[in-house]
Structure 1
Amino acid sequence: MDTQELLKRLRRIEIKSSRLSEDIFSGAYRSAFKGRGMSFSEVREYQPGDDVRDIDWNVTARYARPYVKVYEEERELTMILLVDISRSEHFGTVGMTKRQRVAEIAGTLAFSTIKNNDNVGVIFYSDRVEKYIPPSKGHKHVLTILSEILSIEPEGSGTDISVALRFAHNVQRKSCTLFLLSDFIDGSDYAKTLAVVRNKHDLLAMQVYDPHEAELPMVGLLRVKDAETGEVRMIDSSSKSVRKQYRDYWQELTVKLRETFSKYNIGYASVSTSEDYVPRLQRLFTHPRI
Structure 2
Amino acid sequence: MPSLLRRIKSKMFIAAHRRTLALLDGEYGSVFKGRSLDFDELRAYVPGDEVRDIDWKATARHGSPLVKRYVAVRRHAVLLLVDTGRNMAAQGASGESKKDIAVQAAGVLGYLACRHGDDVGLRHGTATASRFVPPRSGEEHLERLLRDIDSSTALDAPPSGIAHQIDYVLRYLKGRLLIVAVADEFMPDPTVEALLRRLRARHEVLWLTIRDADLAPAAGSRSGGQRDSDQTDSTDVVNGSRIAGKLAAQAAVQAAYAAAMRERGRRRSDVFRRLRIAEQQIGGTADVVGKVFALLEQHRSRALGGLYLAKGGRRAG
Task: State the TM bucket, normalised to the shorter chain.
Answer: 0.7 to 0.9
Q: 1:113 and 1:156, CA in 2 relative to 1: closer, same or farther beyond 3 A? A: same
| Structure showing the higher strand proportion among its residues | 1
What residue is the counterpart of 2:77 in the other structure?
78
- Out of 232, 244, 250, the position equivalent to 1:239 is 250
Which moves more between the two structures, 92-101 or 250-259? 92-101
| Per-residue deviation, 1:24 | 4.1
3-state SS of the aligned residue for 2:78? strand
User: Superposition pairs for residues 250-265 of structure 1, below 5 Å?
Assistant: 250-265=261-276
* Contact residue 123 and residue 132 of structure 2 kept, 8 A: yes
Counterpart check, 1:168 vs 2:179: no
For residues 35 and 210 of structure 2, what CA distance do their matches in structure 1 show?
24
* Contact residue 178 and residue 202 of structure 1 kept, 8 A: yes
What residue is the counterpart of 2:88 in the other structure?
89
| Structure showing the higher helix proportion among its residues | 2
For residues 286 and 198 of structure 1, what CA distance do their matches in structure 2 show?
17
Residues 131-172 of structure 1: per-residue CA shift (max 9 Å, x gap): 211101112101101111222246752222211111122232
Q: 1:10 and 1:119, CA in 2 relative to 1: closer, same or farther beyond 3 A? A: closer
| Per-residue deviation, 1:262 | 0.7
Counterpart check, 1:229 vs 2:239: yes
| Per-residue deviation, 1:191 | 0.6
After superposition, the CA RMSD in angstroms is 3.4
| Larger Cα-atom Rg | 2
Q: 1:203 and 1:42, CA in 2 relative to 1: closer, same or farther beyond 3 A? A: farther
For residues 8 and 175 of structure 1, what CA distance do their matches in structure 2 show?
31
TM-score, normalised by the number of residues in structure 1: 0.77
- Out of 278, 295, 317, the position equivalent to 1:267 is 278
| Per-residue deviation, 1:95 | 5.5
Q: 1:12 and 1:216, CA in 2 relative to 1: closer, same or farther beyond 3 A? A: same
| Per-residue deviation, 1:23 | 4.0
TM-score, normalised by the number of residues in structure 2: 0.71
Regions of 4+ moved over 6 Å: 69-72
Identity %: 21
Q: Give the letter for the 1:150 counterpart.
A: D
For residues 157 and 149 of structure 2, what CA distance do their matches in structure 1 show?
16
User: Superposition pairs for residues 1-290 of structure 1, below 5 Å?
Assistant: 4=1, 7=2, 9-17=4-12, 23-32=22-31, 36-40=35-39, 74-92=73-91, 94=94, 96-153=96-153, 157-185=158-186, 188=189, 189-212=191-214, 217-218=218-219, 220=228, 222-234=232-244, 236-273=247-284, 275-288=286-299, 289=301
Q: Give the letter for the 2:7 counterpart.
A: R
Q: Give the letter for the 2:278 counterpart.
A: G
Which moves more between the two structures, 22-31 or 138-147? 22-31
Residues 221-251 of structure 1: per-residue CA shift (max 9 Å, x gap): 5522111222233261243331122112211
Gaps of 5+ in 2: 43-54, 61-67, 223-227, 303-317
For residues 73 and 198 of structure 1, what CA distance do their matches in structure 2 show?
23
3-state SS of the aligned residue for 1:287? helix
Residues 242-287 of structure 1: per-residue CA shift (max 9 Å, x gap): 1122112211221112101111111111121165222221122223
What residue is the counterpart of 1:65 in the other structure?
none
| Per-residue deviation, 1:199 | 0.9
